[in-house]
Structures are given as C-alpha cells and as structure tokens.
A and B are shown apart, each in its own frame.
Chain A
Amino acid sequence: MTSPARVPLLRLEDVHVHLGRSHVLQGVTFEVAAGGVTALLGRNGVGKTTTVKAVLGLVPRVGTIELEGRDIARLGTPAVVRLGVGYVPEDREVFSTLTVEENLRLAEQPGGTAAYDRVHELFPELKTRRRQRAGTLSGGQQQMVAIARVLLGENRVLLVDEPTKGLAPKLVTEVAELLERVAETTTVLLVEQNLAVVRRLARDVVVLDAGAVVHTGPADDLLSDPDSAKRLLGVASRRSA
C-alpha cells in the first residue's frame, strides 16, 4: 500500500469498464499519493490504458473515482481535464495536420494562463519548429509536443501513458529526465513497460492483472525482488537504465 502519511490525490474504488462484450476493468481499486510518480504496471492487455481512460472519462465507467476527494466519475472528459487532470496518450496522438504551434494553442485553457515560458525552457526545439506540421516530426519530437501540451496548463495530476514506447534508447533517457523534472512539481500516474524508467522515476507501483489490482506498494520493494517482478510483470527486473 502507499505510505499512509501522504494524502491520496486520486482514488479509484471498484471501477468497472465494459467495452463491447469485454469486461475490461473488474473492480479496480487503488490510490495515487500527492507528489512524485506512481507507476501503473502489468502485462499487455491487462487494462492499464483503459484505467487511465476511465479516469478521464474517455471510456464509459462505473465506480468511484475521486480527485482530491471530489467524485469525478460522472463528469465528462473536458470537465475532468479542466479540474487539473492532464493526459499524455499512448502513441502521442498529436494532431498531425496541425502545426506544432496550433497543437499547443489548442491546449490553452480559456481564461487560463498558458505556461509557454516553461514549455519553451523544457523544449527549445519546439519553438524553432513551431510552424512545422506535427505529422512530419520524429517520434521523439512528437512526444515533446504531447507532453508540452499538458504542461501549458496547471495540472494536479498527469496521466502519462507509455511515453517511451517506440523511442530510441537516447530519447528514452531524455523523456525519463524530462518526466523527472515534471514530477518535481506535479503528481504523475505513469503507465510504463520499461522497468528501467520505472525504477528511475517511480516511488509507488500499482500492478494490474486481468482487469484488477494485484499489487500495490513502493516501487523499490517490487523491483528489487526479481521473483515478484517476474511473477507480477512477466519480466525480469533489470538494473540498467
């Protein structure tokens, strides 16, 4: 379990998701403590991405989902996002026909102050490529756009889904460094298959299997125990980053 001293920022209790005839989430229950990175782990197809989408309301869900004690399970996606839940999707999902600048402008919240200074400090390359169509960027550059979009606003929690998927090793390190900096100021729920990245970033882990939580606890405890890692994740925990 997460440390009792820390206040849960995000809490899911008995969350169910049906997609067509599949019962994808079968009573998911866990908490994300405020501050730092909590990693959501599990084999392929166990419901990690669906869990993130359920928090956002991108899939129909039932159960309790609370953000700082407020039930958000009945809110639509835009309302959830406006409460401070940022989302970096799997496969980036940048708007390929729009320019980098337009992708960022789209993420500006009406009435809010867009943190362009912070974004340009973290991603100076995006400033020089602002007129380039996002679809013509490399995978790493598209990931920058996807992360920059959410950093423009003020977020209570960031849901980051497989940010290193498909990236070259050098870029994986860069993205990990970036998330490390982001996590200094914002709570992150991270879906990640790369255990080296998890080891580097995560304080807590939540492990899913067959649509339900099978393990929660400190990341170090799980990753330092090869037998548990093998049993829960189906892979050996390696130390190299």
Chain B
Amino acid sequence: MSTLVLLLATGLGLGALYFLVASGLSLIYGLMGVLNFAHGAFLTAGAYGAWWAAENLPGAGDDGFGFVVAATFGVAVGAVFGAVVELVLIRPLYRRHIEQVLVTVGLSLAAVALAQGIFGADPRPFPRPGWTSGTVSLLGASVPTDRFLLMAAAVVVLLALLALLRFTRVGLVIRAGVENRSMVEALGIDVRRTFTLVFALGGAAAALAGVLGSVYLGSVTPGQGTSLLIFAFIVVVIGGLGSITGSAIAAVVVGVTQQLANYYAASGVGDFSVVLLLALVLLTRPQGLSGRPA
C-alpha cells in the first residue's frame, strides 16, 4: 500500500510538472496554431534564471524568502523570453505555420547550445530550500515534500489560468480566439496583443516548471527543457489542443501511468506506455479527452 501511495504521489508530482509545461503549449497552439518547439527553452531559461539569481541577485538565495525571490526572477525571465520570442520570431511569420515550426525548432536547438556555451554541459546543483528535501508520512508512505510543492504549484496555476479565462476580458478573447481567430479580429479586437500575452504566460508557466523541476531533480542542465517538452506535447494532444482542463487531466493520467508502468512492469516501460496511451486516444478520440477548448 505504501509503495502505491508513493508511486501515485510521484506520478502526480510528475504530472504537475507536465501540466505546467503543457498549459502554455496548449494555449499557444489553441489560439495561434503555433506548435512551439522552443517551449522547452522557456523552461531552461527559467531554471537557469533562478539558479543565477540565487547566487547573484541581492535578496535572493537558496532558502526561505530568498528562494521565492530567485524563483520569481526565473519565472520573470521565462515570461520576458516568451514575449520576446513572439514579438521577434513568431509575429513576422504570422499564419506561416511551417516557417514557425522551423524557427521554433531552430531556437530550441540554439537555446540548448547557448546554455551549454554559457553554463557548461554538466549538471549544476540547483538551490533548493531545506524543507523540500524532507518527507511527509502519508498512509504509511514517506512521500518527499517536493512532490507536494509541484502539485500545489500546478493547482495554483490551473486555478489562476481558469480564472483568467473565465472572468477577464483577456480570457474571453483567448477563448473566442481559440475557436475562431478571424472572427475575433472582425469584431475589432487586435488579437496580436493577446498572442504576446499568451506567449508570456506560457513562458512564465514553463519557467516555473523549470524552477520546480530543478528542485525535484536537484540540478539544472541545458537539455532539461527538451526532454520534458516531448511529454508535454503528448499531454497537450491527449488533453485536447487548446484545453487547459484537458491538459490538467491528461497530465495526471500520463504522470501516474508512467510511474506505475515503470515500477510494476519494468524500468523504461513507462515511456512506452505513454506513447501507447497517446495512440489509443488518437484512435478513439482524436479531438482529445476534453473535446473542446478551455
């Protein structure tokens, strides 16, 4: 029983990480039709931003409020990076989807190389608050506290995004834009501003995933974003493109499935089972679990 609890908690934590990356991806694709292969670069930028801030930024550090400052700095780096990418690289290629894919793939490769050039290819120890190294006793299992940190962050981001979509005009524009972007413009709304905001939000969420993922792993590496991005894409497709709620459900399913398969079948079967799950969903429900945006 305790093993199952531990596996479920770890699966949920992993799912939370996937959701943080997938939420931005899903919104960006849903609204703009952009398959953003550079999304992993936002994650890496956020992680290195927090790592740099913890060591160099006044007031920031590796514990307590200092860690909050470092993490906030990392999230801000991801948001700014996202907005700049949209303004400089994506906007000139508006409605040219193949070129957008090419430029985001190129950026993802360049970002990894740049991070390696600046910080080196080896993993760097990531600052983590002392309490994230502890465990909590739950139904007989000793569950590491960082899992709860990931879950709490994902729930907060999910609720914040749903509130944004449900209760604000920007959210209304996003929901309408996901459904019919041209008609939104035909009502006199400049959707491009919303594009930039969505990229910034996606960048911030991915950067938060970078920070918390590095806490979970204990280190930061240049290729961290790329490896997580693959599973985030799978989550977005399973959840339904453009659906935040769908991404949240899919992230939990993917994370838990991966953990259970890895433990009860064999190590490595988890990744295979996720691909199998993707194929199953595409065959039986191609529009994804949610079947509709937001």
Report yes or no: A58 in contact with B186, Cβ–Cβ below 8 A: yes
Residue of A nearest to B188 (CB): A81
Residue of A nearest to B179 (CB): A95
Number of interface residues of A (CB under 8 A): 21
Does B142 touch A at the CB level, under 8 Å?
A: no
Query: Given A97-B293, A102-B172 in contact, is the A78-B190 Cβ separation under 8 Å?
Result: yes
Interface string of A57-98 (1 = CB under 8 A from B): 010000000000000000011100110000101000101111
Report yes or no: B175 in contact with A97, Cβ–Cβ below 8 A: yes
Residue of B nearest to A107 (CB): B187
Q: Using Cβ atoms and an 8 Å threshold, which residues of chain A touch B180?
A: 93, 95
Does B182 touch A at the CB level, under 8 Å?
A: yes
Does B294 touch A at the CB level, under 8 Å?
A: yes
Interface string of B175-192 (1 = CB under 8 A from A): 110011011111111110
Q: In whole Å, how far is B25's beta carbon from the nearest beta carbon of chain A? A: 20
Report yes or no: A77 in contact with B179, Cβ–Cβ below 8 A: no
Number of interface residues of B (CB under 8 A): 20
Does A153 touch B at the CB level, under 8 Å?
A: yes
Report yes or no: B186 in contact with A81, Cβ–Cβ below 8 A: yes
Interface centre among B172, B176, B188 (most CB of A within 10 A): B188
Q: Using Cβ atoms and an 8 Å threshold, which residues of chain A touch B191?
A: 78
Q: Using Cβ atoms and an 8 Å threshold, which residues of chain B touch A93?
A: 180, 183
Q: Select which of A95, A102, A109, A153 is within 8 A of B183 by beta carbon.
A: A95
A-B contact pairs, 17 of them (CB 8 A): A56-B186, A76-B185, A78-B190, A78-B191, A81-B186, A82-B188, A93-B180, A95-B183, A97-B175, A97-B179, A97-B293, A97-B294, A98-B172, A106-B172, A106-B176, A107-B188, A153-B188
Report B's interface with A, CB cutoff 8 A.
Answer: 169, 172-173, 175-176, 179-180, 182-191, 292-294
